[in-house]
A and B are shown apart, each in its own frame.
Chain A
Amino acid sequence: MTTIYILWLRQLKRYIRSKPRIIASLGQPLLYLFGFGFGFGPVFQKAGQGNYIQFLAPGMIGMTILFTSIFSGIELLFDRQFGFLKEMLVAPQPRLLLMIGRTLGGATTAIFQGTIVIVICVIAGFRPASLSALPMAFAFMVLVAILFTALGTTIACVLTDMQGFQMIMGFLIMPIFFLSGALFPLKGLPTAMQILTRIDPLTYGVDGLRGAMNGTSNFGMGFDLLVLGGIALVFMAIGARQFSRIEA
């Protein structure tokens, strides 16, 4: 338990101390909300889809958690570069605990970041359907955060340097974001796209968040929870396996 706690705490300290990073990572949701949200809002409304900010906000929360989690997982690459990884690997600790501590720490920072975005969304005019829905929304945030931190960790175990990172960003992370329905409704898409959106784990996160915050879920929140929980477990398992194999 101490092991998990101490590594969790380390991630948190690193997060709180990197204020530039916190601010920088809020730029993107701000841009989408204010630029996209207000620019695109009237069109969206005319198309009969209702208030765009209301639609967009859960997507932005999902997006922020996606990026923050993936990055905190990939931070493992920095640990490798700056050498701290070796310190962890020679410690008399099961690798599984090290991995869990790191992942929970990264996920916690992503949830913080998501919470800040909720506040920003509310300032931009977003109104959750009811306050009682917030615990449910929180559950989705936790699952999405854990899932993608574990994915980021797995990626970092496989990559050995930062060069592969651009590729992962372009061919994995951005598609996950765009295909999740964070920006547009997933209706009336061509079949191929439809399938891709269904494979994308973030789709269920965004759908669940919309269900909890707006009362409009496509798949049903129970189903979303189940899918996310399942994938999160699988990713944790894969991440732990990869982490137990890395050599210094």
Chain B
Amino acid sequence: MIKVEHLTKTFGEIKAVRDVSFQVGTGEIFAFLGPNGAGKTTTIKMLTTLLRPTSGTIEIDGLDPAHQQNEVRKRFGIVFQDPSLDDELTAFENLDLHGALYHVPRKVRTERGESLLKLFELWDRRNDPVKQFSGGMRRRLEIARGLLHTPKVIFLDEPTLGLDPQTRNQLWAQVKKLNEEERVTVFLTTHYMDEADRVAHRVAIIDHGTIVAQGTPAELKQQTNSETLEQAFLALTGSSIRDEGADSNRDLRNMAAMWRGRK
């Protein structure tokens, strides 16, 4: 479903992604793990037409995101690392708008919207504006939205960031259920290794823009003689803390969040 070869992205001096290659099969749950600033989000942005690769090739369902943008866009759903809902609209309106943008016929939009809202336990709140939602509810709504147009692949960039253990477990259970029922391919990132261990069929670990290991969670543990995936992860990526480059958008969001908080 996803085929990446020698993918590289540089921002001026910074080499965010260097010569990355991997494949994800149809119906697979693939976890892309790595420390902060490793290049996970940058890779996802290239896979999802938001950034052009500096070099290398990408295939999504046999198509090239750089040249067949709209065809590729129809085939994937995405939950971004940062929030991306319209706060002023209700949960249902957010879904409906998404469906319209993805050419989903109104009838299907309503039906599938209903079943997804029920699955993610938001049906009772469908007519409430998103600004009244908690972090967990927003995240669930974003996942429901990403799945509304029945994509072949869904990208989940740290979907469980900031959620409590109950919500996290439930969310992965729901994602797994959809993966089994609809055979949707899942490409996820997370900093919670136990989640990746439980959910993912296969894992790739990226550090400083390069993939340092790939395989099933069991293989990685065996390879590093570790009990848990977290130990394997630390063995592969070392224990030093990563310098994070300044990200102007992130600063902006923090400012915006502060400003909203104060109001």
Contact = CB atoms under 8 A, between A and B. Distances in A.
B77 to A, nearest CB: 9
Interface in B226-257: 248-249, 252-253, 256
Interface stretch (B47-55, B162-170, B206-214): B47-55
Given A83-B80, A247-B50, A247-B51, A10 B86 contact: yes
Nearest to B49: A90
B100 A90 contact: no
Contacts of B89: 10, 13-14
Contact of B84 (A3, A14, A87): A87
A14 B78 CA distance: 24
A113 B103 CA distance: 32
A17 B98 CA distance: 20
A81 B87 contact: no
Most B CB contacts (10 A, CB to CB) among A6, A81, A92 go to A92
A84 B84 contact: yes
Interface in A1-55: 2-3, 6, 10, 13-14, 17-18
B93 A13 contact: yes
Contacts of A10: 86, 89, 97
Contacts of B50: 86, 89-90, 247-248
B82 interface: yes
B88 A3 contact: no
A14 B252 contact: no
B85 interface: yes
A3 B85 contact: no
Interface string B52-91: 0000000000000000011101100010101111111100
A22 to B, nearest CB: 13
Contact of A6 (B74, B100, B249, B256): B100
A82 interface: yes
Interface in A152-185: 160-161
A132 interface: no
Interface in B22-46: 45
A197 B86 CA distance: 39
Nearest to B77: A90
Given A84-B84, A84-B85, A90-B73, A161 B102 contact: no
20 contacts: A3-B101, A14-B86, A14-B89, A17-B88, A18-B88, A82-B83, A82-B84, A82-B87, A82-B256, A83-B82, A84-B85, A86-B50, A90-B49, A91-B73, A91-B98, A92-B74, A92-B101, A93-B101, A161-B248, A248-B50
Given A92-B102, A248-B45, 10 more contacts: A3-B101, A13-B88, A80-B249, A82-B84, A82-B87, A84-B86, A86-B50, A86-B82, A94-B70, A161-B252
Interface of A: 2-3, 6, 10, 13-14, 17-18, 80-94, 160-161, 247-248
